[in-house]
Structure 1
Amino acid sequence: MRTGTPSQVRPPCRSSPSCPLRVSSTDSTARGPTSAAARPAGTPPARTRVAARRPPAWPHSAGAESVTHMASNRKVVSAARSRMTRLARWGGRSTPISRVRPMDLPRIDAGLLDQWCSHHLGSRITAERFRSGRLSAVIGAVLADGREVVIKVREPAARLEGCFAVQSLLHASGYPAPEPILAPTPLGRWTASVEALVEGGDELPSSGRDPRPFASALEALVRTARPLAAGVDLEPKPSWNRWDHDEPGVWTTAEDVERPFHSVVGPDWLERTGRAARERIACRQAPKVIGHGDWFRENFRWRGEELHVAYDWDSAIVETEAVIVGIVATYVAPSVEESAAFLAAYQEVAGRRFERDELEVSWAAVLWLRGWKAKRQVVTGEPIRSLSEDEAIRLSALAGL
């Protein structure tokens, strides 16, 4: 990262008429926390090309050329888009964001589930391996025909069809997503989908928290899913990714929290931080790509330095690459220094340097997600652990605020 004085940091576009979240320049609440003494000297670099080696072939494919060929396979993309066309005919988009309410987790009777599997999968359940889940019920089962599957049950939502299309493309292209078996299908008042059970692997790569394996896994995902990015509907995004929401206040309410986030006041520095981060992200228009919005450790398993399996494709999102990289950095590289290392590793794997504007948006996405987690802690009565005021100042400077 190049060095420079704070005056070299480009100011946000809050005064631009084209900014979707434009506010008055006199509104002090729209500004992020500032401190000349605490502002770091580093500024994001201007765009330059770098000679970086392309990532190796994905371990579950025959080779890099095979992955690239399969990712552009017209039959796979056409089938996924066809599903989205049918989706539009029977209901269009999901419930408006403003109607977010606490999750009512399904309680599925074993007998009913057995009948459902017999009807839709052609085989009954002989044993349940596990039941778990946070925002949905996840059931591991052994079928009479020998297949081991995972059944995911949750509230109906139009975006689930898009998530299934993304997972189907990724699996067909050699990316380590579990094999999709059954698209979202009614199960009583719920919607259930089925995928192959994939076990094994470690919580972290053999190198621990080194950013390079995570960066390689993310770059391969973005590249492989690119054919679907323009045509798949993945709205609304999960609450923690939904910086562009239309709810009252700064923050989106979590699906599993009853109290609306906007009903809890403060702290003031956190509210200012959230407003500024949203505005900074909104001011950059760029092509959208597909990513995974929840890089929680339990959703990924590794073998050595390679990704063994990625779960929870209900968390697939469409966003700009800069925002997706910032979101992932927040999960896999929680400190400011670790996030900087991850952003550098991703650019190296991708074979290009982010423009200054793009890099600032990545930092704004880090700031938004860490701020959202901090606000959740405020709402639920926990100590704030995800973001301190000093860290907000540092991240704001990196985001060009």
Structure 2
Amino acid sequence: MTFDVARWCAERLGSPVEEVLFAGGHLSRVHGVRLADGREVTVKARPDSPRLAACTTVQRALWTAGFPAPEPLAGPAVDNGLAVSAERYVPGGDPAPATEHARRFAGLLARFVALAPPATAIGTLDPPPPWTAWDHGVDGVWPAADDRADDLNAAGHATPWIDDTGARVRRRLAAFARTEAGQRRVVGHGDWEAQNLRWAGDEPLVVHDWDSVTAAPEAVLVGLAAAVWPCGMVPRAATEQESAAFVEEYQRAAGRAWTAGEVEASWAAGLWVYAFNTKKASLDGVPWLDPREAERRLVLAGA
């Protein structure tokens, strides 16, 4: 399916494109443009999903509350089979704050969760991004991949230790979901990686990738972030020490000490996204998670 960004901007934003600033994307087609009226905007086109409207509702709510979110300008609306939206372009910034990385990344996520509207007030956020979807409904350990057509559960792609890790994590999170804390969902960002955040010194400049907004138990949401938050600042996932520091700093910023079960669930959720990414990487012969580290994280998760 093709998308005419110049036509869309003229029709939906009321001004023609004067200059294309950049174009690219991974799961979406993203164009940065300067309009004839002087505005600089980012236009995103991707397959339609019922969750996108709720994602934009959350983005607008946080922008209105003063959180460093780009201002939503239009959409999402279906155009030639694609869901298209526009937001104010926020250039610049660095992928890491100047100091106290774990404290600032975790504190900003705590602020996100505190400002976000309730999950019950925004419409559906289903289906969740697959790297967060430990409780998917398909047969096998793994959901459909987000960026490739391979069936991760196919016999030809068997990776015993990775598959066992994923299965054990799912069982641990299923047990947590039956607890009181596991049934209370908050709204947050499901891809809290350094590559999606920009900083001006120690102050957050902008948070990107609002299509990754998700709803989950707080410990699960934070655990997902704790495993990946340095990605883009460094070419790897978080170390065990960095994951632990993130969870501790989040609790401090949120003003509530977690139960032992919540801490274990955060380790399980972090290991889920780590194992999911490792499963995909294994199809290309690329190492990611070490099996010895996986086992240590399983112990911390109580799995």
After TM superposition, is the score higher than 0.5? yes
- Aligned match of 1:399: 301
Aligned match for 2:287, one of 384, 388, 396 = 384
Residue 104 of structure 2 corresponds to residue 204 of structure 1: no
State yes or no: 1:280 paired with 2:172: yes
Aligned to 1:329: 226
Q: Is the 8 A contact 2:23 2:29 kept in 1?
A: yes
User: Shift of residue 153 of structure 1?
Assistant: 0.4
Q: Secondary structure at the match of 1:158?
A: coil
Rounded to whole Å, the distance in 1 between the matches of 2:261 and 2:183 is 11
Residue 361 (str. 1) matches residue 253 (str. 2): no
Residue pairs, 1:151-300, within 5 angstroms: 151-207=43-99, 210-225=101-116, 227-232=117-122, 233-263=124-154, 264-284=156-176, 285-300=182-197
User: Residues 182 and 194 of structure 1 are in contact (CA less than 8 Å); yes or no, is this contact kept in structure 2?
Assistant: yes
| Alpha-carbon offset, residue 107 of structure 1 | 4.3
Query: How far apart, in 2, do the equivalents of 1:262 and 1:396 lie?
Result: 21
Q: 1:134 aligned to 2:26?
A: yes
**Is 2:264 the partner of 1:341?**
no
| CA distance in structure 1 between the aligned counterparts of 2:37 and 2:53, rounded to whole angstroms | 27
Structure 2: runs of 5+ lacking an equivalent: 177-181, 231-237
Alpha-carbon distance in structure 1 between the residues aligned to 2:33 and 2:268:
42
What is the alpha-carbon distance in structure 2 between the residues aligned to residue 175 and residue 203 of structure 1?
17
Q: 1:304 aligns with which of 201, 216, 240?
A: 201
The answer to whether the 8 Å contact 1:149/1:194 transfers is yes
The runs of at least 4 consecutive aligned structure 1 residues that moved more than 6 Å come to: none
Which one-letter code corresponds to 1:312 in the other structure?
Answer: D
Report deviation, 1:115. 2.1
CA distance in 1, matches of 2:272, 2:146: 17
Larger Rg: 1
Residue 388 of structure 1 aligns to which amino acid in structure 2? D
SS of 1:243's equivalent in the other structure is coil
1:313-328 paired onto structure 2 within 5 Å: 313-328=210-225
- Alignment map for 1:11-160 (pairs within 5 Å): 107-108=2-3, 112-160=4-52
Letter in 2 for 1:119: E
Shift of 1:295: 2.1
Contact 2:119 2:185 in 1 (8 A): yes
Runs of 5+ consecutive residues of structure 1 not aligned to the other structure: 1-105
- Asked if structure 2 preserves the Cα contact closer than 8 Å seen for 1:230 and 1:288, the reply is no
Residue 366 of structure 1 and its aligned partner are, at CA, apart by: 1.1
Q: For the aligned residues, what is the CA RMSD?
A: 1.4
Question: How big is the shift at 1:297?
Answer: 2.5
How far apart are the structure 2 equivalents of 1:118 and 1:303?
A: 33
Q: Deviations over 1:32-59 (max 9, x none)?
A: xxxxxxxxxxxxxxxxxxxxxxxxxxxx
Q: Is the 8 A contact 1:322 1:358 kept in 2?
A: yes
Q: Is the 8 A contact 2:193 2:225 kept in 1?
A: no
Task: Provide the rounded CA distance (Å) in 2 between the counterparts of 1:267 and 1:120.
Answer: 48
- Counterparts of 1:343 and 1:290, CA distance in 2: 17
Conserved? CA contact 2:76–2:85, under 8 Å: yes
Contact 2:42/2:89 (8 A) holds in 1: yes
How big is the shift at 1:383? 2.6
Match of 1:61 in 2: none
Q: SS where residue 203 of structure 1 aligns?
A: coil
What's the counterpart of residue 235 of structure 2?
none
1:275-297 Cα offsets, whole Å, 9 max, x none, are: 11111112223310011111232
- CA 1:167–1:324 in 2, change beyond 3 Å: closer, same or farther? same
CA distance in 1 between counterparts of 2:47 and 2:159 reads 33
Cα shift readout 1:176-224 (whole Å, capped 9, x = no counterpart): 000000021122121100000001211111026x310001100000000
* Residues in 2 aligned to 1:228 and 1:181: alpha-carbon distance in whole angstroms: 23
Contact persistence 1:166–1:228 (CA under 8 A): no
Aligned residues: 289
Name the SS for the 1:283 alignment partner: helix
